[in-house]
Structures are given as structure tokens and as C-alpha cells.
Amino acid sequence: MAKEPRLTGFITKGGRRVAGSRKRDARLGLLTDKLMKKINDGARNAAVQVMNDLGKEGPVWSGEFRDSWIAVSRQEGGSVASSGSYPYDLSNVPKLSLEQKEQVKKIEITNTSKWAEYALDLKKGKFTPKNFPRPKDGRPLHPKGDVVATGKRDPDSLTFRGEISGGDGGARITAPLDWYSTYLKGGKFKKALRKGLQMGFKGKK
Amino acid sequence: MNYQGIRAALENPILTAFTNLSPAVPVFFDNITAAPLGSVTEYVTVNLTFGITNEVTLSSSVDHARGAIIIRVYCEKGKGPARNQTLITTAVNVIETLNATAKTNSGVFFRTGDIEGPTFSTTEDPPLFEGRIETSYIATVLS
């Protein structure tokens, strides 16, 4: 069996990282179709891992936000996957072309819910009974997800979704404040990428 | 795992830095009941969160944690970003000092990643204007 070409970037047996670049790999013809397929499979598996992590870590009141994560191809003329719901699978991530070998960022994950900015704790809102939840609009009175904290909210000013004060009060949240930043920066995001890439290279689906 | 020690490694110097300002600026940490509901004066909130903890490391004698630090600074709205940026600089200086602190044989060894921001939000209800920075951290408990 022919030995696979060695990429310009690699880690030595001693753990030393040797820098390489995708551009150089492509120019040198090192990115064979077989290898590109593994890289693409890895990226798609990683996207599934991340989308399911986001669904698991994020708030779940009606479930609309959790079911609104989508993966979009960043390749030119990239394919479109079916939008799914939690738990996500590979059919919810677009297939990637074996061409465009130099492209590193292949997939973008985004949330299409109109509540996304609030759910991500990026925008303040009024989460009072008048505005949220609204059973008459189909939003349940009680959350579908587990409540992680209860407390009080300031009824007169805007607050972040996860921003409640301790003590008695009827406010409930299903994910802690800044859960999204914690996911991205607390190591879980990197772990999901690593796991997905490993799955791609081992051929697991 | 000494979560309290890790939290203290960041929160104590932040609190000291803002308390030493003239006038002192109140800082609110996680699970503080005196949250500034409807505050009209400037304040700072610090949210230190834990992501992956007790990660396998080269040595089993240490505890290792990763997480995020989100700092929000609230100042008077409609007066430009200068005051907000001044207060954010205070927080950034604390983080940079932590990053420059040499590793010792005991205590908590703290390192942060790139600081994102400040990003400013003018969508606040008057009279406050929000500035936000966030970063990742790795903390190792050495004792």
C-alpha cells in the first residue's frame, strides 16, 4: 500500500509542533483526494459535535433555540444541508467539495432563532411574564429544559437572559449566564473539534 | 480541585484594583445578592465560569481547569466611551499582571488567552452604557 504523503505541518514523536500551511500542502500536491475526504469528514463530524454541544449547553425553554442551529458551507457554490433539530446528525451538515483544497474555514455554524442574541447572553431584554414566556404565542409556561437557577429579575430595566439575582423570585433560567462564552473558551469547543476530526480520520460516521 | 482558589486568584486582584480607584467602583461577582438592579451609577460585573476541569495533565499532582472570564463595565450613557475604556483598562491591567506572574511552587498558576473586546453596547436603558471584554483562562492549582 502506498504511503500517504507527509504534510508540511506535523507533530514529532517528541511532541514538537512543526508549522505548516494548507496553502503550501496544496501547492506541493500533498492533499490527495483521499486525504481531503478525511479532512472534510473530520470537519463535518466536528460540526455535528459542536451543534449537539451547543444544543446541550444552551437554554431550552420552548426548544426553538436549541433546534435552530444550522451548518452552512463556506465553500464557493457549497451545498446546503437540511436544517434539523437537536440532536443533530451528519445530514444536517453540508457535504464538502474535494476541490478548494486551500480553504481552511469550511463550515459556519449559526443559530437562526429570532431569540438567538438573547439566548447567547449578547443582548439584554425584558424577560418578564408579560414578554416571556408567552403561552398564547405557543411558548410554554414552563421550560422544556432543566432549570439551573431561580431568582429575581429587575422588572423595570433590561437584563441579560441569564442575569438573575439570588433569593426568592419566580425567574428561571435553563442555562447559566455566559454559557456560550464558557463553551467557546472553556475547552469544550476545542474538545468537540478534536473529537470530530478524530472520528473523520478513523472513518466513523 | 480548588475552585475557590482559582476564583480568588482572579477576583481578589480585580476587586482590589477597582476599590483602589478614586472614587471606588463597585464590583459584583457571581451569586452576589446585592446585584445592581436598576443601578444608575457605574459598576462592574465579573463572571468567571468553569469549562473543562480536572483535565489530564502530564503530572497527576496538579489540578487543572479551563474557563472563561467575562467582565462588563457600566458607565454613564451619552458621555462618550472614555470613562468606560478607562475602567476596562483597569480590568485588562489585572489580567495582564496575572499573565506576567511567574510560576511558584504553591498557589494557583493563572494564564489567560487573548482578550476579546472591548465591545460596547448602546442599547442599554439610560443612564448606563456597557463595555465588555472576555477571555479564556487556564488555571493550575499547585498545592
Compare CB distances from A186 to B31, B66, B125 and report the shortest one's residue: B66
For A159-184, letters b (16+ CB in 10 Å) and e give bbbbbbbeeeeebbbbbbbbbbbbbb
Q: How many angstroms away from the CA of B5 is the closest CA of chain A? A: 17
Q: Locate cell 449537539: which residue?
A: A52
Q: Would the CB atoms of A186 and B38 count as touching at under 8 Å?
A: no
| CB–CB contact A152 B68 (8 Å) | no
pTM score above 0.95: no
Question: Residue B48 in 3-state DSSP?
Answer: strand
Q: Return per-residue pLDDT of chain A as tens, 205 residues.
A: 566 667 777 777 777 777 777 777 777 777 777 888 888 899 999 999 999 999 999 999 999 999 999 999 887 777 777 778 999 999 999 998 877 766 667 899 999 998 899 999 988 888 877 777 677 777 788 899 999 988 888 777 788 899 887 667 888 999 999 999 999 999 999 999 988 888 877 765 4
Cα nearest neighbour of B112 on chain A: A185
Q: Does B142 touch chain A (CB under 8 A)?
A: no
SS3 of chain B: helix, strand, coil, percent, to 5? 25, 35, 40
List domains and CATH numbers for chain B: 3-141 (3.30.2000.20)
Set of chain A residues whose Cβ sits within 8 Å of the Cβ of B135:
185
Task: Write the ipTM.
Answer: 0.82
B134 CB near a chain A CB, below 8 Å? yes
Nearest to B68 among A123, A166, A182 (CB): A182
* Alpha helices, H only, B62-136: 82-100
- Name which of B126, B26, B14, B25 is nearest B70 in CA terms: B14
Are the CB atoms for A37 and A98 separated by under 8 Å?
yes
Pick from A123, A177, A185: CB nearest B123: A123
Nearest to A185 among B37, B51, B125 (CB): B51
> A165, B37: Cβ pair inside 8 Å?
yes
Cell of A126: 425584558
Question: What kind and span of H or E run contains B10?
Answer: helix B3-19
Nearest CA in chain B to A182: B68
pLDDT per position as a tens digit, B81-121: 899 999 999 999 999 999 999 888 888 999 999 999 999 98
> Which of B52, B122, B128, B133 should one mutate to test binding to chain A, selecting the residue with the greatest count of A CBs within 10 A?
B52
Question: Which of B31, B33, B49 has its CB closest to that of A182?
Answer: B49
Q: How far is A171 from chain B (nearest CA, A)?
A: 14
What pLDDT, on a 0 to 100 scale, did the predictor assign at position A205?
47
